[in-house]
Structure formats: structure tokens, C-alpha cells
Amino acid sequence: MMNITLLAAQAALADTLTGGNPVLTPVSGEAQMNLWDMAVKGGWIMLVLALLSVACFYIFFERLAIFARPVRKTLCLWSVSGIISVPER
């Protein structure tokens, strides 16, 4: 069994090296499918996926805009307590 496979591989390699491969021609019976045709063939689930992807991009860019905004410096309670001195009794 192994010898037959190796012989077939050797014959295929010899055909490739000598240029004996046939020329492949495109099938002209079927029209080329573009992205819109594939989306329409996908059915109703493609509409759901499109809406979810729009929501995902919206959330991503909205979060990106918020994280890119400079942060305001606010005083925390424990940092203010070091500034304000409390008289000891």
C-alpha cells in the first residue's frame, strides 16, 4: 500500500517537473459571487450579524474616545487629610 502511494507521488512529481500538468481553465457556467450576493444568500441571520457588528463598533469607538480623553485631577479624601491639619486635644 505504501509503495503505491510513493509511486503515485513520484509520478506526480515527475509530471510537475517536466511541465506535464494540464492547464486549468476557469468554469464559466457559474457567475462570480460578490459580497452582497453572499450576504443575501446568508438569510436573516446576516441581518442580525450586521446589527451586532455595528453595535460592537459603536461601543469600541465610544470607549476609545472616553479612554483617550485626558483625566481630570481630583483631590482624594486621604490626600486632602495630609494638607488639613486637625488640632490635637
User: In the prediction, which pLDDT does 63 show?
Assistant: 92
Judge contact between 78 and 84, C-beta under 8 A: no
Residue written as grid cell 485626558? 70
| Residue spans per domain, the chain | 43-69
Please give the Cα distance from 74 to 68 (Å, whole number).
18
Q: pTM above the 0.85 mark?
A: no
| Lowest-pLDDT choice from 11-20, 35-44, 64-73 | 11-20
For residue 13, what pLDDT band results from cuts at 50, 70 and 90? confident
pLDDT tens figures, 42-56: 899 999 999 999 999
